[in-house]
Amino acid sequence: MTAPEMPKSRSTAWLITTVGAGAVILIALTVLGTLAITHRSKPEAAAPATASAWDLEQAANQADPEPAETTAAPGPTLAVSDLTLTPKITKKQCFGSAGCNVRIKVEVGYDGPTLSEDDTWEVTYQVIGDESGPIVGTFELTGTKYDQDEISLSTKSSTTKISVKVTDVAGIPG
């Protein structure tokens, strides 16, 4: 046997009533949920509490400014114009019209304020006279001390003039 069919007007009314009741329940749950969330997020009046020693220390640390760092006064600044570089020929072998193989060391002359032994400078220079073009090198200068390796170059002739010039000076943080 099959279940008796309801008249169409009754089943439509039943469906509308069921859906309407479900919508009312859903709206009620949404409103209640929103109220619960709103109630939780409201700040509650806090009763005055006694501050702990840790809380007092933290508040004092925030109120006290950190002491300013002191830095030593900067020493003299080394400028490109303060240095004079001169090539010192340590070895030279010439081959007639084929030119020469030459080894040089760069000698440093300084004309400026006294440099601190605590300051180190990186000096970049350019050697002119090599048949292939300029040679670029660097050395470190601390106070009046520097260490310079020998530089090898080839000249086009025995009369080629070799010169050295400073191209840059930069302080090295110490």
Has residue 122 been placed in a domain?
yes
Has residue 161 been placed in a domain?
yes
For residue range 35-87, what is the model confidence (pLDDT) as tens digits? 666 556 555 555 556 777 767 777 776 765 555 555 555 566 889 999 999 99
DSSP summary character for residue 167: E
- Strand ranges for 57-150 from DSSP E: 83-94, 100-110, 120-128, 135-142, 145-146
Domain extent for 102: 80-172
For residue range 2-47, what is the model confidence (pLDDT) as tens digits? 555 545 556 666 556 666 666 667 676 666 666 666 556 555 555 5
Sole residue written with tokens 């939780």: 40
Can you give the CATH number for the domain in which 114 is found? 2.60.40
| Confidence (pLDDT) at 127 | 97
Please give the tally of structural domains in the chain.
Answer: 1
Has residue 20 been placed in a domain?
no
Task: Output the CA–CA distances (angstroms, integers) from residue 10 to 5, 20, 21, 22, in the order listed.
Answer: 10, 15, 16, 18
Rounded to whole angstroms, the Cα distance separating 106 from 160 reads 17
| Confidence (pLDDT) at 54 | 67
